[in-house]
Amino acid sequence: MTTEEMQQRKRELGLTYEQIAERSGLSVITVKRIITGTTPNPRGYTKSFIEMALSDPVVRDSVPARSAYAEEHGIQPQYMYKKQGEYTAEDYFALPDEERCELIDGVIYDLASPSDLHQEIAGELFFQLKQYLRENKGPCRAMMAPSDVKIGDRTVVQPDVYIHCKGWKRGEEAPAFVAEVVSPSSKKKDYIIKVQKYRETGTKEYWILDPENEKTTVYLFDGDDFDVRISDLYAPMPVSIWDDKCVVDLSVLKEELAEMAE
Protein backbone atom coordinates (compact mmCIF):
# COMPACT_ATOMS: atom_id res chain seq x y z
CA MET A 1 0.00 0.00 0.00
CA THR A 2 1.07 3.57 -0.64
CA THR A 3 0.63 6.18 2.10
CA GLU A 4 -2.39 7.53 0.20
CA GLU A 5 -3.95 4.05 0.13
CA MET A 6 -3.28 3.61 3.86
CA GLN A 7 -4.90 6.96 4.63
CA GLN A 8 -7.91 6.08 2.46
CA ARG A 9 -8.27 2.68 4.10
CA LYS A 10 -8.02 4.27 7.55
CA ARG A 11 -10.92 6.60 6.66
CA GLU A 12 -13.00 3.75 5.20
CA LEU A 13 -12.65 1.67 8.36
CA GLY A 14 -13.09 4.66 10.66
CA LEU A 15 -10.00 3.71 12.67
CA THR A 16 -7.88 5.97 14.86
CA TYR A 17 -4.09 5.73 14.93
CA GLU A 18 -4.42 4.21 18.41
CA GLN A 19 -6.72 1.46 17.11
CA ILE A 20 -4.39 0.69 14.21
CA ALA A 21 -1.48 0.51 16.66
CA GLU A 22 -3.42 -1.95 18.82
CA ARG A 23 -4.30 -4.08 15.79
CA SER A 24 -0.75 -4.09 14.45
CA GLY A 25 1.19 -4.40 17.69
CA LEU A 26 3.25 -1.31 16.80
CA SER A 27 3.60 1.97 18.66
CA VAL A 28 1.22 4.83 17.88
CA ILE A 29 4.20 7.00 16.89
CA THR A 30 5.44 4.42 14.36
CA VAL A 31 1.97 3.94 12.88
CA LYS A 32 1.35 7.66 12.51
CA ARG A 33 4.73 8.33 10.91
CA ILE A 34 4.26 5.63 8.28
CA ILE A 35 0.65 6.41 7.38
CA THR A 36 1.28 10.16 7.12
CA GLY A 37 4.43 9.61 5.08
CA THR A 38 6.79 11.09 7.68
CA THR A 39 8.76 7.86 7.38
CA PRO A 40 8.97 7.55 3.57
CA ASN A 41 10.75 4.18 3.42
CA PRO A 42 9.43 2.03 6.29
CA ARG A 43 10.94 -1.35 7.00
CA GLY A 44 9.25 -4.34 5.40
CA TYR A 45 7.90 -6.03 8.51
CA THR A 46 6.60 -2.72 9.94
CA LYS A 47 4.66 -1.86 6.81
CA SER A 48 3.33 -5.43 6.64
CA PHE A 49 1.89 -5.16 10.15
CA ILE A 50 0.09 -1.93 9.27
CA GLU A 51 -1.28 -3.36 6.04
CA MET A 52 -2.68 -6.34 7.95
CA ALA A 53 -4.17 -4.03 10.56
CA LEU A 54 -5.96 -2.14 7.78
CA SER A 55 -7.49 -5.31 6.39
CA ASP A 56 -11.11 -6.16 7.15
CA PRO A 57 -11.42 -8.46 8.97
CA VAL A 58 -8.07 -8.25 10.76
CA VAL A 59 -5.86 -11.20 9.78
CA ARG A 60 -3.16 -11.11 12.45
CA ASP A 61 -4.66 -13.82 14.66
CA SER A 62 -4.81 -16.59 12.04
CA VAL A 63 -1.71 -18.07 10.42
CA PRO A 64 -3.57 -19.37 7.30
CA ALA A 65 -5.31 -16.02 6.86
CA ARG A 66 -2.06 -14.11 7.29
CA SER A 67 -0.33 -16.38 4.78
CA ALA A 68 -3.11 -15.92 2.24
CA TYR A 69 -3.05 -12.16 2.81
CA ALA A 70 0.71 -12.08 2.32
CA GLU A 71 0.48 -14.01 -0.95
CA GLU A 72 -2.40 -11.90 -2.26
CA HIS A 73 -0.69 -8.59 -1.50
CA GLY A 74 2.89 -9.55 -2.34
CA ILE A 75 4.16 -9.22 1.25
CA GLN A 76 7.19 -11.19 2.39
CA PRO A 77 5.68 -14.17 4.24
CA GLN A 78 8.34 -14.50 6.94
CA TYR A 79 6.70 -11.59 8.79
CA MET A 80 3.22 -13.12 8.77
CA TYR A 81 3.46 -16.25 10.85
CA LYS A 82 3.93 -14.78 14.29
CA LYS A 83 2.41 -12.04 16.39
CA GLN A 84 4.27 -9.52 18.52
CA GLY A 85 5.47 -11.32 21.64
CA GLU A 86 6.13 -14.57 19.77
CA TYR A 87 9.37 -13.71 17.95
CA THR A 88 12.67 -15.34 18.84
CA ALA A 89 16.32 -14.41 18.45
CA GLU A 90 16.41 -16.73 15.44
CA ASP A 91 13.64 -14.67 13.80
CA TYR A 92 15.52 -11.48 14.62
CA PHE A 93 18.77 -12.63 13.01
CA ALA A 94 16.85 -13.72 9.90
CA LEU A 95 15.68 -10.15 9.25
CA PRO A 96 17.40 -8.20 6.45
CA ASP A 97 20.51 -6.33 7.63
CA GLU A 98 19.07 -2.93 6.69
CA GLU A 99 16.07 -3.37 8.99
CA ARG A 100 17.41 -1.93 12.25
CA CYS A 101 15.35 -2.99 15.23
CA GLU A 102 15.49 -4.64 18.65
CA LEU A 103 13.77 -7.69 20.08
CA ILE A 104 12.66 -7.61 23.72
CA ASP A 105 10.69 -10.49 25.21
CA GLY A 106 9.50 -11.56 21.76
CA VAL A 107 8.39 -8.07 20.68
CA ILE A 108 10.07 -6.32 17.74
CA TYR A 109 10.74 -2.61 18.26
CA ASP A 110 11.55 -0.42 15.30
CA LEU A 111 14.63 1.80 15.75
CA ALA A 112 14.44 5.29 14.32
CA SER A 113 17.56 6.87 12.83
CA PRO A 114 19.48 8.68 15.59
CA SER A 115 19.84 12.45 15.57
CA ASP A 116 23.20 14.19 15.22
CA LEU A 117 23.15 15.13 18.92
CA HIS A 118 22.35 11.54 19.85
CA GLN A 119 25.41 10.37 17.93
CA GLU A 120 27.62 13.10 19.41
CA ILE A 121 26.70 12.08 22.97
CA ALA A 122 27.04 8.34 22.38
CA GLY A 123 30.32 8.83 20.54
CA GLU A 124 31.86 11.01 23.25
CA LEU A 125 30.80 8.60 25.99
CA PHE A 126 32.27 5.67 24.07
CA PHE A 127 35.50 7.58 23.41
CA GLN A 128 36.05 8.41 27.09
CA LEU A 129 35.32 4.85 28.25
CA LYS A 130 37.60 3.43 25.55
CA GLN A 131 40.36 5.86 26.48
CA TYR A 132 40.15 4.87 30.16
CA LEU A 133 40.38 1.18 29.28
CA ARG A 134 43.42 1.73 27.07
CA GLU A 135 45.22 3.73 29.72
CA ASN A 136 44.44 1.27 32.52
CA LYS A 137 44.46 -1.99 30.56
CA GLY A 138 41.35 -3.27 32.31
CA PRO A 139 39.78 -6.69 31.61
CA CYS A 140 36.82 -5.08 29.85
CA ARG A 141 35.83 -3.92 26.39
CA ALA A 142 33.74 -0.90 25.37
CA MET A 143 31.36 -1.27 22.43
CA MET A 144 28.79 0.93 20.69
CA ALA A 145 25.80 0.55 18.35
CA PRO A 146 25.04 -0.93 15.97
CA SER A 147 26.08 -4.11 17.77
CA ASP A 148 23.71 -6.95 18.65
CA VAL A 149 23.57 -8.14 22.25
CA LYS A 150 21.64 -11.39 22.60
CA ILE A 151 20.11 -11.99 26.04
CA GLY A 152 18.34 -15.34 26.06
CA ASP A 153 16.20 -16.74 23.27
CA ARG A 154 13.70 -13.86 22.99
CA THR A 155 15.75 -10.69 23.44
CA VAL A 156 18.36 -9.02 21.22
CA VAL A 157 19.16 -5.36 21.91
CA GLN A 158 21.45 -2.74 20.40
CA PRO A 159 22.64 -0.55 23.30
CA ASP A 160 24.13 2.80 22.27
CA VAL A 161 27.19 2.08 24.43
CA TYR A 162 28.01 -0.92 26.59
CA ILE A 163 30.87 -2.54 28.46
CA HIS A 164 31.42 -6.25 28.81
CA CYS A 165 34.10 -7.65 31.06
CA LYS A 166 35.91 -10.94 31.48
CA GLY A 167 33.47 -13.70 32.38
CA TRP A 168 30.51 -12.17 30.54
CA LYS A 169 28.08 -14.93 29.53
CA ARG A 170 27.19 -13.85 26.00
CA GLY A 171 23.70 -14.94 25.05
CA GLU A 172 22.68 -15.39 28.68
CA GLU A 173 23.20 -12.11 30.49
CA ALA A 174 23.39 -8.41 29.72
CA PRO A 175 26.73 -6.51 29.75
CA ALA A 176 27.98 -5.08 33.05
CA PHE A 177 27.44 -1.48 31.92
CA VAL A 178 24.84 -0.20 29.45
CA ALA A 179 24.10 3.37 28.31
CA GLU A 180 21.20 4.53 26.16
CA VAL A 181 20.76 8.02 24.70
CA VAL A 182 17.01 8.50 24.93
CA SER A 183 14.85 10.05 22.20
CA PRO A 184 11.15 11.01 22.32
CA SER A 185 10.17 7.80 20.53
CA SER A 186 12.22 5.51 22.80
CA LYS A 187 11.41 6.91 26.25
CA LYS A 188 8.99 4.17 27.31
CA LYS A 189 11.35 1.45 26.15
CA ASP A 190 14.46 2.98 27.73
CA TYR A 191 12.95 4.17 31.03
CA ILE A 192 10.60 1.26 31.74
CA ILE A 193 11.06 -1.86 29.62
CA LYS A 194 14.86 -1.87 29.47
CA VAL A 195 15.30 -0.93 33.13
CA GLN A 196 13.50 -4.11 34.11
CA LYS A 197 15.19 -6.23 31.44
CA TYR A 198 18.73 -5.12 32.31
CA ARG A 199 18.03 -5.54 36.02
CA GLU A 200 16.74 -9.08 35.47
CA THR A 201 19.64 -10.16 33.29
CA GLY A 202 22.67 -9.09 35.29
CA THR A 203 23.59 -5.53 34.31
CA LYS A 204 25.26 -3.70 37.20
CA GLU A 205 24.99 -0.15 35.87
CA TYR A 206 22.54 1.41 33.41
CA TRP A 207 22.76 5.02 32.22
CA ILE A 208 19.95 6.88 30.44
CA LEU A 209 21.24 10.09 28.86
CA ASP A 210 18.43 12.52 27.99
CA PRO A 211 19.54 15.34 25.63
CA GLU A 212 16.11 17.00 25.63
CA ASN A 213 16.06 17.50 29.41
CA GLU A 214 19.86 17.58 29.75
CA LYS A 215 19.96 14.99 32.50
CA THR A 216 21.51 11.59 33.14
CA THR A 217 19.70 8.92 35.14
CA VAL A 218 21.89 6.16 36.53
CA TYR A 219 20.52 2.87 37.81
CA LEU A 220 22.82 0.77 39.98
CA PHE A 221 21.60 -2.82 40.36
CA ASP A 222 22.61 -5.20 43.13
CA GLY A 223 20.41 -8.26 43.10
CA ASP A 224 16.94 -7.25 44.26
CA ASP A 225 18.22 -3.85 45.42
CA PHE A 226 18.88 -0.85 43.22
CA ASP A 227 19.86 2.78 43.56
CA VAL A 228 18.93 5.67 41.24
CA ARG A 229 21.03 8.80 40.73
CA ILE A 230 20.07 11.79 38.59
CA SER A 231 22.50 14.49 37.51
CA ASP A 232 23.06 17.14 34.86
CA LEU A 233 23.88 15.57 31.50
CA TYR A 234 27.09 17.58 31.18
CA ALA A 235 28.27 17.16 34.79
CA PRO A 236 31.12 14.75 35.63
CA MET A 237 29.72 11.27 36.26
CA PRO A 238 31.74 8.40 37.83
CA VAL A 239 31.47 4.88 36.48
CA SER A 240 30.38 2.75 39.41
CA ILE A 241 31.48 -0.66 38.06
CA TRP A 242 35.05 0.63 38.16
CA ASP A 243 34.74 1.94 41.74
CA ASP A 244 34.31 5.53 40.49
CA LYS A 245 37.90 5.62 39.22
CA CYS A 246 36.70 6.50 35.73
CA VAL A 247 34.78 9.78 35.50
CA VAL A 248 32.94 10.68 32.31
CA ASP A 249 32.73 14.41 31.64
CA LEU A 250 30.54 15.49 28.72
CA SER A 251 31.09 19.20 29.40
CA VAL A 252 33.77 19.19 26.70
CA LEU A 253 31.11 18.14 24.22
CA LYS A 254 28.81 20.93 25.36
CA GLU A 255 31.59 23.44 24.79
CA GLU A 256 32.30 22.08 21.31
CA LEU A 257 28.63 22.22 20.34
CA ALA A 258 28.38 25.81 21.61
CA GLU A 259 31.43 26.83 19.56
CA MET A 260 29.93 25.27 16.41
CA ALA A 261 26.66 27.15 16.96
CA GLU A 262 28.41 30.54 17.08
pLDDT, residue 84, reads 77
For residue 235, give the DSSP letter: S
Beta partners for residue 101, in sequence order: 110
How far is it, in rounded angstroms, from Cα 176 to Cα 219? 12
How far is it, in rounded angstroms, from Cα 49 to Cα 255? 44
Whether the pLDDT of residue 79 is over 60: the answer is no
Write the burial class of residue 150 (CB in 10 Å: 0-12 exposed, 13-18 middle, 19+ buried): middle
How far is it, in rounded angstroms, from Cα 74 to Cα 66? 12
pLDDT, residue 184, reads 82
Whether the pLDDT of residue 61 is over 60: the answer is no
Whether the pLDDT of residue 74 is over 70: the answer is no
Radius of gyration of the chain (CA): 21
Domains and CATH numbers, the chain: 3-84 (1.10.260), 116-261 (3.90.1570.10)
pLDDT, residue 19, reads 85
pLDDT, residue 202, reads 92
Q: Output the DSSP codes for 30-92.
A: HHHHHHHTSSSS--HHHHHHHHHHTSSS--TT-HHHHHHHHHHHT--GGGTS--TT---HHHH
Q: Which residues contact 45 (CB under 8 A, 6 or more apart)?
A: 76, 79, 95, 99, 101, 108
Whole-prediction pTM: 0.74
Under 8 Å between Cβ of 78 and 19: no
